[in-house]
Amino acid sequence: MSPITSSDNLSVFFLAQGEQSADAVMARLTAFIRAATQTLDLAVYDMRFSDPLRAQLVTALRERAEAGVQIRFCYDGDKPAAPNVAAGQDPAPAGTSAFVQSLGYPARRIAGMKLMHSKFVVRDRSSVWTGSTNMTDDAFTLMENNIVEIDSPALAASYTQDFEQLWEKENFENTGNIHTAPVPLTFSGQPATARVLFSPGCGLEIDTEIARRVRAAQRRVRICSLLINSGTLINELGNLLRAGGVRVDGIYDRTQMAEVYVQWQSVPSNHWKIPAVHDIIARAGLVGKNSTPYSPTSRHDFMHNKVLVIDDTVITGSYNFSRSAELNAENILFLESPALAETYSNYIDHLIAKYRAGKDLSGTP
């Protein structure tokens, strides 16, 4: 990671399986929480901590509440045990509702056919914690994730607006249509900018903007993503690889993509994506992490990042590069910074080397 200077108001923290303790990640989260003096608004998709981590979180929240900080949660309510997948309803991990309610602060279950998939905390309407990381033990220790912290009232105002829409509607549909613009930041002592967009309101705009940036790439497109299943992105990556001249590489979750192929097989209009993604993986030499097949009770050790590095831009957040993400409640950042792009690029290099070796955590092939 590039050195953080005293003038920086943007920082990033990277997670990888077996490379940090749950306590270390929780310590970072509770430090963010303990800096609150007025408000804490938490939008969570999956929040289920073991007792030791829960105790640390409870202590930090209680301290702030006793100091007069107003704390609120918006969370993705547990979906039916057998969701109507054919109608577009996605599953959600069980237990988040009970966990959030057990904390005892004002909370609202956010309904909707798809998912309230955002993961962010707004502190004092001036600072934001976001990225790809869910609030679970597995997310803290077994998954590849990134955490972004930004001190910017202008940026925080957009997150607050999205949170208020969720809070008032108690349903994420027809939320997120928020006009945003790049805001100035500093990373590694150098100027940077950040723009946030929210779905579902700006879902189509997000998909279009990602495609535009891939199409305009001059030097590199680096992928660090759980999934690659947006038809628009698949088309643009294929075109870029066939044209040549721009480096395309990266890492994805091989096991979770295999499950996506099965889903595509059952939808004739998606059949074309299977050979297209296979071609991208082969041409770009993408490295795949072999994770545990998903089930609600399985070990969750996914390559869970949602990152694109395009030249000197980093795109990241809760937003998977998928059609579903357009329809979910999501947030995504477009971060312009050569230094930050290099920091993410170094992290991607690390993961490529780690999983190209084909070894598990014990070092055994």
| CATH code of the domain in which 309 resides | 3.30.870.10
Q: Is residue 44 one of the residues assigned to a domain? A: yes
pLDDT in tens, 24-63: 999 999 999 999 999 999 999 999 999 999 999 999 999 9
Cβ-based neighbours of 189, under 8 Å, separated by 6 or more: 5, 7, 8
CB 212 within 8 Å of CB 248 = no
- What's the pLDDT at 1? 46
- Residue 157, in any domain of the structure: yes
Q: How far apart are CA 12 and CA 338, in angstroms?
A: 14
> What is the spatial distance between Cα 91 and Cα 84, in angstroms, rounded to a whole number?
9
* Residue 55 CB neighbours (<10 A): 12
In a domain? residue 120: yes
Measured at the CA of 94, the angle between CA 167 and CA 72, to 5 degrees, comes to: 25
Is 330 within the bounds of a domain? yes
Residue 87 has pLDDT above 70, yes or no: no
41: domain range? 10-356
Number of structural domains in the chain:
1
Work out the pLDDT band at 282, boundaries 50, 70, 90: very high
pLDDT digits (tens, 9 = 90+) for 114-123: 899 999 999 9
User: Mind spelling out the 3-state secondary structure of the chain?
Assistant: CCCCCCCCCEEEEEECCCCCCHHHHHHHHHHHHHCCCCEEEEEECCEECCHHHHHHHHHHHHHHHHCCCEEEEEEECCCCCCCCHHHCCCCCCCCHHHHHHHHCCCEEEEECCCCECCCEEEECCCEEEEECCCEEHHHHHCCEEEEEEEECHHHHHHHHHHHHHHHHHCECCCCCCCCCCCEEEEECCEEEEEEEEEECCCHHHHHHHHHHHHHCCCCEEEEEECCCCCHHHHHHHHHHHHHCCCEEEEEEEHHHHHHHHHHHHCCHHHCCHHHHHHHHHHHHCCEEECCCCCCCCCCCCCECCEEEEECCEEEEECCCCCHHHHHCEEEEEEEECHHHHHHHHHHHHHHHHHHHCCCCCCCCC
> Which residue's structure tokens are 């996914």?
302
HSE-up of residue 61 (Cα within 13 Å, Cβ side): 21
Does residue 250 sit within a domain? Answer: yes
pLDDT tens, position by position, 238-261: 999 999 999 999 999 999 999 999
Give 363 or 260, the one with higher predicted confidence: 260
pLDDT at 3 over 80: no
With respect to residue 306, please indicate whether it lies within any of the assigned structural domains. Answer: yes
Query: Across residues 126-142, what is the average pLDDT?
Result: 97
Structure tokens at 329: 């409640």
1 part of a folded domain: no
The reported pTM is 0.94
Share of the chain above pLDDT 70, in %: 92
pLDDT score of 221: 98
Q: Which of 78, 38, 12 is nearest to 305 (CA)?
A: 12
> What span, in angstroms and rounded, lies between the C-alpha atoms of 62 and 180?
33
Confidence grade of residue 365 (pLDDT, cut at 50, 70, 90)? very low
Task: Give a yes or no: residue 363 inside a domain.
Answer: no
